Amino acid sequence: MITKLGFRNIFRNKRRSIITCLIMGLGLAALIFADAFLRGLNENMITSVTSSFIGDGQLHRKNFLKTRESEKTVENSEQTLSELKRNPLIKLAVPRTIASGMISSPTDVLPIALYGITPDEEKISSIKDTVTLGNYLSSSVPDQIMIGEKLAKFLGSTVGDKVVITTAQAKTGVLSQEMFRIVGIFKMKNKEMDSSMAFINIAKAQELMGIQNDFHEIVFKFESKQSIINPPQYFLNSFSQGDNEALSWKKLVPAIDAGIQLTSYSLYIGSFILFAIIALSTMNTLFMSLYERMYEFGIMKAIGTRPSFIIKLIVIEAAALAFVSSIFGTLVGGGITLITKMTGINHLTDVEYLGTTIKTAIRPLPSTHQYIIYPLAIFIFAIISSIYPALSAGRINPSKSMRRD
Amino acid sequence: MNTLQEVIFMDKISKHYGHDDNRVIAVDHVELKIHRGEFTALVGPSGSGKTTLLNIMSGLDTPSTGTTYLAGQSISTMKGNQLSDYRRDHIGFIFQSYNLIPVLTAYENVEYILLLQKIPLKERRDRVYAILKEVGLEGRENRRPTELSGGQQQRVAVARAIASKPDIILADEPTANLDSHTGSALLDMMKELNEKEKITFVFSTHDQMIMDRAKRLIILKDGKVHRDEVRA
């Protein structure tokens, strides 16, 4: 009888019940979609930052990133590189040299960061895919150089032109110079990289800096997606022995990690606001219904209905509304998430956010918790919100509530 | 003090509202006994204390002083579930505005009180059908209150009131919203129930039709029993 009464009461004022279900359901749908979108955005940012150049992590001599001193090459570089390559967590590991230098064209001289790379192994980054003019470096032609689009513009140079690189020898500090021919121009859609970076063959770079077969950096990529999102600390610690230091992208680009945490917090705040709206909306609906039915509750109590029956009745009504809303919200939220996952959201493509350019369409990421925890939370919240109106209904004084004057 | 024949005994009941200068005395030291099988009308002008007295009789309101005994038990000190259960098992109510639960059918409105009493399904069903037949609503069991006329709704209210086999039925202006013909028919039905089933009725009313049928008239004035007439 109590369930029958509860359900029939919901259909008593259909418009109000529908509006309440819409508020709760659409709120839940928005929460599910926002969560999936932010997860998709976070993953997109991580992929953008790790696949372009930085990799999932890097290994250097301690303090190299602060000082950028050429003599701070990776300790036991060859051995460390082969250990990394053998590690089951690692999919790829490539060496790089890094030096500060000057690039001169017939019209200008500019400071640059000169990277020595192994062209055939540098699959870890998307350097090859960013070439907009000319070709990618060839391992067999040592005097080739690739420069950024903006840098080429500043230098007034293009593919086929010659430039001179000046850098210091690592141990002696003696300047060494070499002429290179521009083989390709790249565009990484990052202002800093496109205006001040150049790539040459690693062997040539080692020769210029006088560091034999040593290198300054090992960039690595993890095998699993889970390790990319949450790089295992034990792994990083195991490669941070001696004078070397292994860092994940979280430490290399802290702004991205902070951004991800910020989006998580904003989701928590959004969820809190949403749950507050749902709670107030449920309470409002139940109180409106309560005041309309005050006389009826008075009668029910007068003829011998226990207060607990009335309390249960109100809670059941709230639970029924929440149940319908949860199903509706889950279907709508899930539907929007799946559709946008398939189509992708392109509006943020090429937008620079937290120093990283979002390169591909954002695809919202569905997750089990969105379809279990959130609907359950809405359901529980609605029930909790119904307790106060239910207690008020249970406390109704029949003789007072039956007075119609 | 109270005998087996007494359904209700009101012992020096007073009810006042407000304080000091704003104090209103609704019921003033009323001492009253209602006996089993009576068909009693509480009459008097507006503000004479009829409804307040009826509410105190049923435990819907508490007296400021005095004690009400229902079926030998003091209900003035009962609270919460105990009072609800006592009302459910011992009192039937009929109100001026019918006061049925609008989302339930005629059958379910009558069944509701039996459900509260935890009467088994078969007995419940038999009793509801029998009572609805008795009050002339056979064939209208599945109609909701809005699908019934005022007179039919009040018959459902009577059926609900007698379904729980209470010691007394308290009726507050039961004919006020009915036309004279319907009101008269309803009163005849209640009178018949009183005579056949020995159900005790107490009415609070202005209606001459009720006064004409009442075996006992209690006339209230300014919260006091002005006259108490037992008719032959």
Q: Do A306 and B104 touch (CB under 8 A)?
A: no
Instruction: Quote the CA–CA distance of B61 and B90 in Å, as a whole number.
Output: 16
Q: Is the torsion defined by CA of A225, A226, A230, A231 positive or negative?
A: negative
Of A5, A295, A306, the CB nearest to B84: A306
- Average pLDDT over every residue of B188-203: 85
- The answer to whether residues A389 and A287 touch, using CB atoms and an 8 Å cutoff, is yes
Residues of chain B contacting A6 with CB distance shorter than 8 Å = none
Please state the rounded mean pLDDT for residues B86-102: 84
Task: Please say whether the beta carbons of A206 and A214 come within 8 A.
Answer: yes
pLDDT at B194 over 60: yes
Smallest CA–CA distance from B169 into chain A, residue = A303
Specify which residues A222 forms β-bridges with. A90
Q: What value does the mean pLDDT take over residues A120-129?
A: 82
Higher pLDDT among residues B154 and B107, named by residue: B107
Q: Spell out which residues of chain A touch residue B110, defining contact as CB-CB under 8 Å.
A: none
pLDDT greater than 90 at residue A39: no
All domains in chain B, ordered by first residue: 6-230 (3.40.50.300)
Token digits of residue A174? 């003696």
Distance (Å) from the C-alpha of residue B136 to the closest C-alpha of chain A? 22
What's the pLDDT at A139?
Answer: 86
Q: Is residue A357 pLDDT above 80, yes or no?
A: no
**Do A300 and B101 count as a contact with CB atoms less than 8 A apart?**
yes
Share of chain B above pLDDT 70, in %: 98
Give the pLDDT confidence score for residue B83 in this predicted structure. Answer: 85
Predicted TM-score (pTM) of this structure: 0.72
Q: Which of A4, A305, A402 sits opposite B116 (nearest CB)?
A: A305
The whole-number pLDDT of residue A298 equals 85
CB–CB contact A12 B102 (8 Å): yes
A284: its two tokens = 């409002």
SS3 assignment, position A64? helix
A210 touches chain B (CB under 8 A): no
Higher pLDDT, B4 or B24: B24
Residue B3 has pLDDT above 60, yes or no: no
Decide if B95 and A296 are in contact by the 8 Å CB cutoff.
no
Give the model's pLDDT for residue B2. 42
Residues of B in contact with A305 (CB under 8 A): 84, 88, 116
Backbone dihedral angles phi then psi of residue A182, each to the nearest 5 degrees? -70, 120
pLDDT band at residue A404 using 50, 70 and 90 as cut-offs:
low
Cβ-nearest to A306 among B81, B102, B104: B81
Chain A residues touching residue B75 (CB < 8 angstroms): none
Q: Which A positions 276-315 lie with beta carbon below 8 A of chain B? A: 295-296, 299-309
pLDDT value at residue A198: 94
pLDDT of A377 above 50: yes
Mean of the per-residue pLDDT values of chain A: 87
Residue A355's pLDDT band (cuts 50, 70, 90): low
Whether residue A355 lies within 8 A of chain B, CB to CB, comes out as: no
- Measure the CA–CA gap between A12 and A253, rounded to whole angstroms: 57
Distance from CA of A298 to the nearest CA of B (A): 10
The answer to whether the Cβ–Cβ distance between A9 and B103 falls below 8 Å is yes
The mean pLDDT of chain B is 85
pLDDT of residue A330: 93
Q: Mean pLDDT over residues B208-224, rounded?
A: 88
pLDDT attached to residue B18 = 81
Q: Which of B60, B92, B103 sits opposite A8 (nearest CB)?
A: B103
Please report the pLDDT score of residue A301 as a whole number: 86
pLDDT for res A347:
79
User: Is B164's CB within 8 Å of A304's CB?
Assistant: yes
Contact B220, B44 (CB under 8 A): yes
Residue predicted with more confidence, B227 or A9? B227
| Interface mutation vs chain A, best among B101, B108, B158, B165, most A CBs within 10 Å | B101
Give the pLDDT of residue B1.
Answer: 43
CA pair distance A392, A301, nearest whole angstrom: 13
Each residue of A286-329: pLDDT tens digit?
788 788 888 888 888 888 888 888 898 888 888 888 899 999 99
pLDDT > 90 fraction of chain A, expressed in percent and rounded: 35
Which segments of A50-148 does DSSP mark as H helices, in order? 64-67, 77-86
Q: What does the pLDDT read at residue B232?
A: 66
Buried b (16+ CB within 10 A) or exposed e, B157-178: bbbbbbbbebbbbbbbbbbebb
Measuring CA to CA, how many Å separate A391 from each of A135, A287, A307, A325, A385?
A: 76, 11, 8, 23, 11
Does residue A210 have a pLDDT over 80?
Answer: yes
- A36 min Cα distance to partner chain B (Å): 42
Per-residue pLDDT reduced to its tens digit, A66-120: 888 888 999 998 999 999 999 999 999 999 999 999 999 988 899 999 999 999 8
Using DSSP's 3-state secondary structure scheme, residue A87 falls into coil
